[in-house]
Amino acid sequence: MPFHFLSAELHKRWGHFDGFHVLDVGKDCFLCQFSKQSYQEAVLCSGPWIVAGQVLGLDCWTPTFQASSSIGCTTPLWIRLPGLLLYSWDINNLARIASSVGTPLWVDPCTAKINKLAFAHICVRIDLSKPLKLGVWIDGCYGNFYQKIEYEGLSVICFNCGLVGHKDSACPTRPSPCVS
């Protein structure tokens, strides 16, 4: 994505934070600077951030950051656990299930209070370089069950390899059709 386009989009969304700047560091990586830690945390704890259909992988800068590697590029995402069995609606079970996807960040207030039973709603920090899981097997107190996982705000998911950023038809791991 062109730097000028991304920079303009991010300034529309985060320009209200004083001292916000975007720097191009190459290899489709950008460094976002905030004048206050609280501004950075506000951006990192919300999302997913999507520009032109692409999910932005956001993380805190580290001294070992390499623009040439997407390993460890993470973003917070809201997941839904539709039809979750009622006996699994406690904070320990929710955290255990969410941990199979990524790092649990917080639980939606309606989920915590068990106000809506259609689905549990949990924010999880996921590693964008790893395949997304469509569901997980849970070892429940009344036997094993399969829990489906839905990801909110992601429009570009490949169900062939499980990665974010391209569709099945453009999957680099899909074998080319044989021509005879």
pLDDT in tens, 129-169: 788 899 999 988 888 999 999 988 776 667 677 676 667 77
Residue 164 counted as domain residue: no
Contact partners, residue 2, CB within 8 Å, separation at least 6: none
Residue 115 counted as domain residue: yes
Residue 175 counted as domain residue: no
Q: Provide the pLDDT for residue 70.
A: 59
- Does residue 83 share a domain with residue 14? no
- Does residue 141 share a domain with residue 81? yes
Range of the domain at 134: 74-151
Residue 116 counted as domain residue: yes
Report the domain count for the chain: 2
Residue 169 counted as domain residue: no
Residue 114 counted as domain residue: yes
- Does residue 81 share a domain with residue 32? no
- Does residue 36 share a domain with residue 101? no
Residue 56 counted as domain residue: no
Please spell the DSSP secondary structure of 7-58, one letter per residue: HHHHHHHHTTSTT-EEEEEETTEEEEE-SSHHHHHHHHTS---EETTEEPP-
Q: Provide the pLDDT for residue 69.
A: 63
Residue 18 counted as domain residue: yes
Task: Specify the pTM.
Answer: 0.64
